Amino acid sequence: MIRFPLVAVLVLLLSGAAASQASVEAPLTRVLAGVVQSDGRVDYARLASLHRADLDAALAAVASQDPAALRSDAQKTAFLVNAYNAHVLARVLASPRATNLERQDLFGAFFRQPVAVAGLRMTLDQLEHGVLRRQSRVNGAAVPAALGRLRPSRVDYRIHAALNCAAVSCPPLAGRAFRASSLDADLDARFRAFAGSARAARLDGRRLVLSSLFDWFADDFEAARPVGDVLLAAMPASRASSLRSRLAGKTAAQLRRDRTVTFAYDWTVNRAR
């Protein structure tokens, strides 16, 4: 029997996982680099005419990914975020008349129809909430046990700045796919960019308007400290200084009770103007 050194076996296994993920990342990066505008909106017409083949290649790679090759939290998270974002892009292409997901009642069509991910069938809601957010139930139903093997070991609140649901209030897509090798730095950069933007927090006169993400996913953000402190820590210093008195030490529950605070979310589709 031929014996291989343990190091060689590990290198082969890890390179196989990296190659498998790269088959998603390369075409998805070409898509994102070609259609995401500087304001975060997406040129879906350009996607349909010039980058559909790349999107289809990314979706095929998402579907055929071997889940056993995703060993680390970084590999799982990068793959899952890329899978989610690629499928949302495809959903918009399949819904050319979609203008507002809430007003047109498109949540079911976009997030509750099964798609192929790593040899499994799951909805995008299950991917986000049942896998990435480790929830046991999604939309009133138990999460299938088979999806559990894709779960990272913990919830990382920064994913909420990386997942894009095609709404203008969503944190915008990055110009490239996420990679396991740089995931921590990339998630940090995306969350800091979001926290420093008007999408996350802005003053409207005396009223503080916050993204509903900090309300909906308060449990994720507040695993270690109040959401107000999470936001302030990620903002540029000048912006944090202007909002410190409104956010410092404040939990989501406290902010909900504050009559000068509003949580808001615009579900208008993020089509290029």
The residue extents of the domains of the chain are: 6-154
Report the percentage of the chain scoring pLDDT > 70: 92
Asked if 196 and 119 touch (Cβ cutoff 8 Å), the reply is: no
pLDDT tops 70 at residue 90: yes
Q: Give Cα 114 distance to the centre of its chain.
A: 18
Q: Which residue has the tokens 């071997």?
A: 66
Query: What pLDDT, on the 0 to 100 scale, is given for residue 67?
Result: 97
Sign of the four-CA dihedral 13, 15, 18, 23: negative
**Residues 6+ positions from 260 with CB-CB distance below 8 Å:** 206, 207, 208, 246
Query: What pLDDT, on the 0 to 100 scale, is given for residue 56?
Result: 98
pLDDT tops 60 at residue 2: no
Sign of the four-CA dihedral 116, 89, 213, 25: positive
Query: What pLDDT, on the 0 to 100 scale, is given for residue 7?
Result: 46
pLDDT single digits (tens) 121-174: 999 999 999 999 999 999 999 999 999 999 999 999 999 999 999 999 999 999
Predicted TM-score (pTM) of the model is: 0.92
Cite the DSSP H helix spans in 121-223.
124-125, 183-195, 213-216, 218-221
**Residues 6+ positions from 176 with CB-CB distance below 8 Å:** 25, 28, 29, 32, 33
Query: What pLDDT, on the 0 to 100 scale, is given for residue 72?
Result: 98
Torsion angle defined by CA atoms of residues 234, 172, 166 and 211, in that order, rounded to the nearest 10 degrees: 30
